[in-house]
Amino acid sequence: MSDGRIILIVDDSLISRLFMKKAVEASYPDWKIIEAGNAQEALASVGDNPISIALLDLNMPGGINGLALAKTLQDSQDNIQIALVTANVQLSIQEKADSLGVAFVAKPVTEDKITAFLEQCLA
């Protein structure tokens, strides 16, 4: 399925990024993946690329968290679909994600959780 999609994966944990990347590649090997360790890296890496889907950690170094990055991406990317992938499962965080129209994926990350979100994006 080569449909030219670009997915952004942002997490300060290299292990988490690698796991999410592996999960995406298992189902969608033709998608382009952009990785970043924090929001600033993500914004610099995205440039003019049309991002279809973003998987964002909540807590990252650099002063911009995943929710703030989600809002910035929504303002600059048409029809982007975003999941907040975090171990912080507080109801208040889930409600903030919901208010932005951002899906919530609780860590620990599994291939099934990532694949389920990607399938929702394509539905």
Q: So where are the chain's domains?
A: 6-122
Alpha helices by DSSP H, 28-90? 39-46, 66-76
Q: How far apart are CA 54 and CA 96, in angstroms?
A: 17
Q: Is the pLDDT of residue 84 over 50?
A: yes
pLDDT digits (tens, 9 = 90+) for 26-60: 999 999 999 999 999 999 999 889 999 999 999 99
The CATH code for residues 6-122 is 3.40.50.2300
Percent of the chain surpassing pLDDT 70: 98
Region 13-17: what's the mean pLDDT? 96
**Residue 6, φ and ψ in degrees, nearest 5:** -120, 130
Confidence of residue 67 (pLDDT cuts 50, 70, 90): very high
Q: Is the pLDDT of residue 1 over 60?
A: no
